[in-house]
Structure formats: C-alpha cells, structure tokens
Structure 1
C-alpha cells in the first residue's frame, strides 16, 4: 500500500482543516501517517485511524539553530517512514519540511502553503529577508519533476514565480466544507442587521477594523450589530488582547462571544459575514458563510476575493478602509433583496468550487498522478 506522510505543525490545524483530505486519501488506497505536535487533538487523529508521529518544534522561532534542528528532526522521520509522498502543510512546513524531505530522499513532494501569512503582510527588514529566502526555497530549490504545489488562490503561486495554470500547480478551494452539511436558511428578522466575524482574534484578520466599521455604520444611522466569534492567542504577538476584546464588547452594538463549535448556528442567527483580513489563503469562515447562503463583506485581498466577487456574492472593500466597509454595511442593512440575491449567489459559488468533495477529488487525483510517475 502506498504511504502518504503529512508534515504539519499543529494537530488542531490538521483536525480543523485537513481530516477530509486525509480521509479521501485513505479511500483512494493510501496509508496515511501524520507527523505533528501532538496535543489535545492527538486522540482525534488516532480515532480516525491515522497513525501519528510526534514532531516537536518551535513554530515561532527563526533562529538558525532551531531551524536546523527542525529540519534534522523531520528528515529523520522521512527516512524512518520511507513514504511514497510527503505532503507539507502551511508555509513554514512547506519550506523547512520540504527541505528535510528532499534531503532525506523523498520520492515525491506536495507543497501546500495554505496562505502566506505575516511574512507577506508585514514589510520590515526581517520580513523582506524572509520573503526572499522563502521564494528561493519554495519556488526554486524544491521545484522538480516530482514536486507539485497546492495553492488556495491564484495570487499566491505568482509570489514564487509559478504559473497558477501551470502543470505543477493545483488550485483548490481551501479545505472545503461538506456539501451535505450546508443548506441555506432564511435570514433572521431585521432590523438590526446582524453581522458576524468568525476568526481567530488576530490583528491581521481585521478585527479592529470590523469594530470600527460597525461603529461608523451606526454613526451614519444604520441599525447594525456585530458579533465576534473566536479567541485571542496570547502566544502570538499579533493577537488582540482579551482586554481589548472586552472593551469593544462594552460598546453599543458589539459583542465578543468567544469560541464557537456551532458555525452553522452562527449563520442562522446573522444576516452578513464579514472578514476585513489583510491577506488569506482561502478563508474557511467565508466558505462556511457562503455555504449557508449569507452575503459577505470582505477585503479585496488574495484569498477573500477568491470566494467573493464584488457585487455578486458580496461587497469587497480596500484593506484597512473602515469607511468603505461601513458604507457596505449601510447598503446591505437597507436592502433585503440585495442580501437575498448575494446570499443565493454565494451558495451557488460554494457548490461550484468549495465543497470538501471537490477538494478531495482534486487532491487524490494529484496523489495518483505522482504515484504513477
């Protein structure tokens, strides 16, 4: 039986986004092994029938010693497992895991950055050096006849000198959402217009901008309320603090509701999804909102504009432009027919490109191609 080894930094990230992909791989006849930091979700991965390998690494460290140790640990895992395909998930693992797999003689590589994150959002000297190094590793050193790239939008491949329509690039709709679990529901009564942000509470996700946009829309006179679903990450310097979230929640029309496991319930109770992120791969929260038939207000940045076309599935606004975001909310608050039309278009777009089933077919087709070479 051919063996597939996933290299992924965090077990929770694998569970929340990649279990359907791994199930599809198993259904296609591959043995699946997951190398990751084993924490709260280790039992969940094992319960799925996938063997795990502990992969401890410092995900925030850019020090050369820790980078060297990480590469050595992953190379040892690849040599021990001798997989037919190594699938590296997220940008850090794509670069370091890809180098490790190549050094260990991996037969085939699948590199899936998922999104380019703060290295492409920020523009300090460290980020500029990091971008140049990452472009060299991912776009040149790891490229080869048995390397394939998985991207979630058409913008990101170009950052590595890759053609999004090229034979070594496959575009997928993020991790996908199960088609049979997604059904549009009637919107709740209005006014007020209930807007939800479902996201990690990080600054690059545009959390402060979402609060400011709702604040401004209310000043203009629109009856708009905002719910923030998600938790801060104290280990991430780009996280909103709990104190900030509580202060925003004390404002009229804003409520921080913390983590939720009932995303479908969120969209049943809200009219509009909003994500004012600075950059994304494919934002799962917007795909889930589209599946539920909700119109979307999002920034015109990579990833978000993959899900939303301006004036069709929702309204796109420039990043960090809270005035235009507020005007978009005012417009949707005053036009139920527009909300209904955009919500229907969002659901149709989800069905066409962002289901788990479509993603699973694309990825297993890629695995089969590599195994046949």
Structure 2
C-alpha cells in the first residue's frame, strides 16, 4: 500500500486542508498523487513532493453528462496508474472516485466533511444525489465522518452499514501555525466570518446583526468577511450584493487570503452563523487555536467547537435576533474577559481538534490495509 491518490474538487482545497497530511504520508514512505482540477495551487502541491493529475469536475453542476465524464476520467487514471488506495474528499469525489476505484480494483477511504443541503433539500437533483451517495458509499472500504450527526444520519438512512468507519475531529487545526494572538485593546470590538460567501452560511443574518450593532455602537464595532465570493452555488452572495453592504458601511469584505492567521489575529471574535450541514468548520478550529472566542449556531458540525459561555456562545440557526444577542455579549465584555474565553478556545482545540489526531487516524487506517 505505497501508492496513494488524494482527490478533491479543487487543488486549493487539497493544499489548504490536506497539506500536512501529504507531508506526513510522504515522510512515512508513501508515494502521493493528487487528482484534482488544475488551479493556481496545483504547482504548490507538486512542490510538496507529490505528483499531480488534472481532472474535470463540475463541482456545483447537475449535468449528468459532465459527471459521467468525471467518473470515466477517474476510472482511466486508476486503471492506467499503479494505485493502491484512494483518499477521497469533497462530495462528487466521494461518489464518482469511489465508484471508479471499485471498478478498477482500487481501495478507497472517504471523508464525509458535511452534507450541505443534500439530506434537507427535496429538489430532484438532491434526490438523485442521495441515491448516488447511498450506492457509492457502500463501495468504499472505509469512511471517516467529521461529526457524529452525519454518522447517525448514514445509519438512519441505511447507508454503508457494512463499511468500517471512524470519527475525525474535523480536518483539525495546525497548532504550530495557528498560535495564540490576542487582538489589540483599542476600544473597538472586531468580528470576522470566514467561509464561502453563501447565504446558507448565515451571511445574511451576520449582516443584519452587524447593521443592528453598528446602529447601537457605531465605530466601536467592526464586522469583517473573508472568503470566496460569487461561487457556483444557488446560495451564493453576488458581488453586487456584497458591494451594496460595503457601501452601506455595515461590513468590510476582505476578499480571500492564503495568510488567514494574519486576519484572525486582528479580531476579537470569530463568527459562523451557518445553517448549512457542516463537517466541522476549519475557520472555527483555526480561530480557536489562535485564542479567539467563537460565536456559532446550534447546527451540525458547528456546535462541536463551542462549549456555551466557556469559549464562546451558541445561537439559534437562521435567527438574527439570537445571533445579535450573542454578539452583543462579546461586545459587552471587557478585553480581559474576551481573552479568557479565547484562552479556553485554545485549550479546547488542543485537547480535541489537533490536526495530528487526524493525520494519525489516516495513517492507522492505511496500515490496516497493508
């Protein structure tokens, strides 16, 4: 089991979420090939010491012809290359790479990093996707879940009941990169939301809460947004909408960054009012590792990161009022009180969400196939 493929729907994802996993695999003697759509991060992946193969994946699309092409491309790669095992990440990869690997006689380990609206929406596309998920996951050799809710959902829907599984602490946080960085004590309380700019992530509620608190506190509060805008998703926030909010003076949009720790360091609190079915949000883990209080929703994947009133606050999904109340609690605190919550966040991340736990579980799973 020396030749490993890692697949995801973007090279950006693999580099930003699985870079240290790749390093650990190479250090352990594995040969690693990344199969993903080519983007500006593909070359960075090769610099880590792995090979790269480009593949077409219409990650947000519902065209069955495109998906069949993706499946066939995976199959050609697995038949032509000497591959022992495939590590799949992101939804379409979990489906089509798994099926192609089984057909080619290659083992696969899947990572269920949240299920979005897949088991909530009753659209035709979602119903088809559920059938594909149910069929494909039964062909996997091992499944990692990022939270117990998703694991229970698979059980209740009788998905992959005979496939071995385990729970990971999300994708973990790199505790050596994300270190405690107190915000400046200058009388301004700064909030940050890092995510793809989707309304399902609670962007609308965040903006509404910001509007209410700006009206109350003026320039003594600041609300920032960081993440991909105008993405290929029905819930996407448009550039025009973001510009309207920025022009109104409600939020500051920071674009995207490869140096998110610099942005997190400047703020007093990380916020994610998501009602999307998350895995465990990476932004919350990284902010917690940097000693930031967290405000998030009582939602799948999100609630795991907060012990209410210990390292932050949990609010109701889709409720601007509940979110505003939680953020107001942060504003009302002294700088020292916020630092106490932040220190508790660091402790929680160290104990429960260290990325090394994730990597060791992957190495252990791989060793079971040798």
Closer, same or farther: CA 220–39 of 1 in aligned 2, 3 Å: closer
Q: Deviations over 1:131-188 (max 9, x none)?
A: 24423432xx325xxx111121111122222799x99222222332322223212332
Q: Give 1:355-370 correspondences, 5 Å limit.
A: 355-370=354-369
Query: Could you give the per-residue CA deviations for residues 176-228 of structure 1, whole angstroms, max 9, x where no partner exists?
Result: 23222232123322533211111221222211111111222344558432011
Matched-pair contact (CA < 8 Å) for 1:135–1:159 = no
Deviation at 1:234, TM superposition (A): 4.5
1:188 equivalent to 2:184? Answer: yes
* Matching of residues 60-75 of structure 1 within 5 Å: 60-75=60-75
Q: 1:254 to 1:65 in 2, by over 3 A?
A: closer
Range 297-306 or range 199-208, more displaced: 199-208
Cα-Cα RMSD: 2.4
Tell me how far 1:100 sits from its aligned partner.
0.8
Describe how 1:66-145 pairs up with structure 2 within 5 A.
66-106=66-106, 108-120=107-119, 122-138=121-137, 141-143=138-140
- 8 Å Cα contact 1:203-1:240 kept in structure 2: yes
Q: Which string of whole-angstrom CA distances, capped at 9 and with x for unpartnered residues, describes residues 91-120 of structure 1?
A: 2111111111111111x2201122212324
CA deviation map 1:305-347 (0-9, x unaligned): 1212222221111111010000011111112254233211110
Contact 1:157 1:163 in 2 (8 A): no
| Cα distance change of structure 1 residues 75 and 167 upon mapping to structure 2, 3 Å threshold | closer
How far apart are the structure 2 equivalents of 1:167 and 1:241? 40
Unpaired segments ≥5 residues, structure 1: none
Q: Report 1:216-227 matches (<5 A).
A: 216-220=212-216, 223-227=220-224
Give 3-state SS (helix, strand or coil) of 1:261's partner: coil
CA distance in 1, matches of 2:225, 2:18: 25
Q: Which moved more, 1:226-235 or 1:155-164?
A: 155-164
Calculate the TM-score normalised by the size of structure 2. 0.91
- What do residues 45-71 of structure 1 show as CA deviations (whole Å, max 9, x unaligned)? 111110112212322333333322222
The count of corresponding residues between Structure 1 and Structure 2 is 365
CA 1:277/1:148 → structure 2, altered by over 3 Å: closer, same or farther?
A: same
Separation in structure 2 between the aligned mates of residue 275 and residue 24 of structure 1, nearest angstrom: 30
Q: 1:267–1:234: structure 2 CA closer, same or farther, 3 Å change rule?
A: closer
Native 8 Å contact 1:224 1:253 kept in 2:
no
* Structure 2 stretches lacking a partner, 5+ long: none
Measure the CA separation in 1 of the matches of 2:134 and 2:207: 35
After superposition, the Cα gap between the structure-2 partners of 1:120 and 1:312, relative to the gap in structure 1 and judged at 3 Å, is farther
TM-score, length of structure 1 as denominator length: 0.90
Provide the C-alpha distance between the structure 1 equivalents of 2:153 and 2:225, rounded to a whole number of angstroms.
32
Counterpart of 2:282 in structure 1 is: 284
CA contact (8 A) 1:175 1:284 kept: yes
Mapped to 2, the partners of 1:312 and 1:24 lie a distance apart of 33
Matched, 1:54 2:50: no
Supply the distance in 1 between the matched residues of 2:244 and 2:63 (Cα, whole angstroms): 36
Does the aligned pair in 2 maintain the 1:21–1:175 contact within 8 Å?
no
Q: Structure 2 CA distance, aligned partners of 1:156 and 1:61? A: 23
Q: Which residue of 2 aligns with 1:270?
A: 267
CA contact 1:216–1:323 (8 Å) conserved in 2: no
Q: Distance in 1 between matches of 2:120 and 2:312?
A: 24
For residues 116 and 240 of structure 2, the distance between their equivalents in structure 1, rounded to whole angstroms, comes to 24
Contact 1:25–1:32 under 8 Å retained in 2? yes
Contact map agreement 2:95 2:132 (CA 8 A) in 1? no
Contact 2:182/2:339, CA 8 A, preserved across alignment: no
Does the alignment pair 1:149 with 2:143?
yes
**Cα offsets for 1:283-318 (capped at 9, x unmatched):** 111111101100011011111112122222211111
